[in-house]
Amino acid sequence: MEIRENFSLKAYNTFGIEAKAKLFSDVNSLEQLKEVYANYPNEKKLPLGGGSNLLLTKNFDGIVAKLNLLGKEILKEDENYVWLKIGAGEIWHEFVVWAVANGWSGVENMSLIPGSIGAAPMQNIGAYGTELKDIFTSLEAWLPEENTVETFNNSTCDFGYRSSVFKTQLKGKAIILNVTFKLSKHPNLNTSYGSIEDELAIMNISSPTILDISNAVIRIRQSKLPNPAEIGNAGSFFKNPLVSSEIANKLLEKYPNAPNYEVGEGLSKVPAGWLIETAGWKGRTFDDRFGIHKKQALVLVNYQNASGQEIFDLSENIIEDIEYKFGIRLEREVNII
């Protein structure tokens, strides 16, 4: 196992931020992962997946373990379902493509979400009316402090909106090794969310398959979201805030057409993108190097050679402005290093 020093992480984060790791190692197995932790006990550790939900604001003074834990396995199947065990280092969208090609349903609405399999349960990824928890069975994670591999089910993962136990109590204390999904052989198509039905109509499809749903979602995402290979970004930078009914009603008094969705327990979800756009941030650029995407206010972008600190400061300004104008405080979805 090779350890590299003063290693550039620019190609390992989708923002394309230039930051260096004091030490860096590719990790291809649990044994190599354990070796990194055993051989460098006094160094800070950063387990790194696809780097798609990460903002590096400075160099990392420690060792980065790039998790290349691969593998796709059919654990079992019956006439209705198939159970799939997928390595944490596999690319999420490539897994979706594989599942759809085999006729296994449940992930098609989450096509083209960037990142790795291991990152998916950390924040309970979701799109177009589907969340990871809907198809999740279990995962295995290594806990370095105990040096044990533990199995987590849906309950023990404590999934919430873009959250899980791995972002709360176990943040920095567990490394996901693999994830097991339960997909259906008899698709129950979900076309009612967002503009999927409109996109299918444009595609002239009246009786869609899961492949059609996946293609429609891909077309929608490509039309609205910048490709990280072309413009540095980490997808949605902010969570959609959950607010009290009182705050939601005050918002509607001032903005009668403001979108908000009741989620129960006296709470409503307000689209962060609407708040940011209404506040006048959408499409703004700074020194032609970074800013807010012109088509999607939720996405902060690095056009050319911005620093992570500059993008973080921009996010801080947006958070403060939204709180001042609407009385709602946004929360970052992206992990800050």
Active-site annotation holder among 236, 268, 315, 332: 236
Instruction: Report how far residue 221's alpha carbon sits from residue 177's, in angstroms, rounded to the nearest whole number.
Output: 28
Tokens at 84, concatenated: 């799939």
19, 26, 57, 319 from 288: Cα distances, Å: 20, 35, 19, 21
Note whether 134 and 179 are within 8 A (CB): no
Q: Which of 133, 167, 306 is nearest to 234 (CA)?
A: 306
From 90, 108, 199, 333, the catalytic residue: 333
For residue 88, how far is the Cα from the chain centroid?
14
| Residue in 25, 90, 162, 332 annotated catalytic | 162
Distance CA 222, CA 226 (A): 7
| Catalytic site includes residue 236 | yes
Rounded to an integer, what is the distance from CA 5 to the centroid of its chain? 29
Spatial distance between the Cα atoms of 134 and 156, rounded to a whole number of angstroms: 15
Distance CA 229, CA 16 (A): 9
d(CA 54, CA 60): 13
Any idea which residues carry the catalytic annotation? 162, 236, 333
